[in-house]
Structure 1
């Protein structure tokens, strides 16, 4: 009997509306977060590591955050792309960084919830990284090359069943959200499509535009311009509601696929060795940044919902997501080569 996938009721968007709560702890965190030299944190340049190639949605969010964080701290916040191994090259780099809070990570589903596809990781993301907050979440857009003779999900499934394994979907790498949401579609629709992993979404998107692959389950920030320009066609979005940026594109639920509902999300994380006082200060300051209307609108314009929750809420959410995506990995028998 085919497994039924439960609809999500995480309610991250609601949590994001509560970013204004809890700011009374900002001054206390600031007083407690001094370096070993006795200087207030931060007092020098901060690195924000993006574990994917430049140009993807993680990179977009990182640069938005780096700009605001740099202005708040009056210190340079430099975005550093360290792609590879589904994001785990960058993840391990941050896990191994000095415990001083000057190396941050823009994390993802792949880093925190779907790393079960990798059987030989040289670190444990659950224990070697400390999550500061869930920064934002977003649905994905099912996008196709215009040459694909399918204009909605039902036509896509019918075509895939008629011509099994002739439709290839690209991703940012094995275990990435772009990959896992595609696998969820395969499982819930019984559509025989083939995964083609790339080293980042940018390379996959380039091949989709060129017609080398036919399909992606991609983030909105990297697809909106191509959809509006007619270079890609949007078949559906994977969230509970339509995207304001794509009001004419139905949700998968509206298209008759109620089990195909998922969002991806990003985090800010540090090495697990970083003191809680610094982690708490970062949490309070990032929540302050995300509470600003300009920043929230910037995320919304890219199809993202701001979250910025507390460390405790973020940890509980990620634990639940890990359970959810482990089921997809097991059911789909997904293993990184």
Structure 2
């Protein structure tokens, strides 16, 4: 009788690889359609990029890749969904700077970006562009700052949501310029742009691709972009950094992550496939036309970048006393 527990233990040990090896050596691609989750509604920059990448990715791996839009809470709903997803490699997230590096400093989340989400590769980055309605009466960043100082609290700026990259860009510029423009959060870029075009708000830190047609029509005036260098999409618009605020840098970025429950071999394989897509000439050309710069890299590079961005924006959140409005 004493041998039975020992025999049972050996029997369990013998069966153990049968239950663990399939998770580590799972077939690639997954046997079911792949979900590429996006935290914003269809029609925006993130959605456009995700659909372009998903199409090429599906062709390369011979499996359907479905873009799954889960908008809301500044992208946090989508990020929590993927954090809770099975680690079978069939659910990926086109994550954004807000939920991955900003929101954790502003609110209590139902997930931890570092603990619950595993980096795969950086996707794209791009600056925002500070645009004003033509009726504001300013044509340069210097004129905008002068007007803001003349009327403290009299100018406002829109963002695509509290804790978004556009929100933090505005807060950072307020701090650097010594002005107080009032933040007006929206549930996405489309309603923000609509109110800006209608003259109901003064300014907006918009994506270049979204603002571009309205700049061309003369309805919006571009004052400056928020990256360290001028985007190819807007070569004639100066950066904030070159307009008297050296080193100013507030870029938007989207990166590929998955549930941290996903085995490392699958994460490494997804890195390989996504880097291949982002380096494809036809994909790069289309992304650049939308003002999005492809930034494929290693998993470790993304992890370090996310940590750096979290430290940078965490400091801004604390110093500006920013809350989830």
**Given the two structures, how large is their TM-score scaled by the length of structure 1?**
0.86
What SS class does the counterpart of residue 134 from structure 2 fall into?
Answer: coil
Distance 2:209 2:23 in 1: 37
Q: Does 1:328 align with 2:316?
A: yes
Larger C-alpha radius of gyration, 1 or 2?
A: 2
Q: Which residue of 1 aligns with 2:9?
A: none
Q: 1:228 aligns with which of 211, 216, 219?
A: 216
Compared CA separation, residues 113 and 73, structure 1 to 2 (3 A)? same
In structure 2, runs of 5+ residues without a counterpart are 1-20
The number of aligned residues is 305
Q: 2:303 aligns with which of 305, 315, 322?
A: 315
Q: What aligned pairs does 1:1-337 form with structure 2 within 5 A after superposition?
A: 39-337=27-325
Runs of 4+ in 1 over 3 A off after TM superposition: 33-40
Given that 2:24 and 2:265 are in contact with CA atoms closer than 8 Å, whether structure 1 keeps it comes out as no
Compared CA separation, residues 117 and 199, structure 1 to 2 (3 A)? farther
**Given the two structures, how large is their TM-score scaled by the length of structure 2?**
0.89
Greater relative contact order (Cα < 8 A, sep 6+): 1
CA shift digits 1:189-223 (9 cap, x unpaired): 11210111111111111111111111111222222
In structure 1, runs of 5+ residues without a counterpart are 1-32
Compared CA separation, residues 103 and 162, structure 1 to 2 (3 A)? same
Given that 2:126 and 2:291 are in contact with CA atoms closer than 8 Å, whether structure 1 keeps it comes out as yes
CA shift digits 1:90-144 (9 cap, x unpaired): 1001111111111111111102111234332121112111111111111111111
Q: How large is the RMSD of aligned CA atoms in angstroms?
A: 1.7
Compared CA separation, residues 74 and 168, structure 1 to 2 (3 A)? same
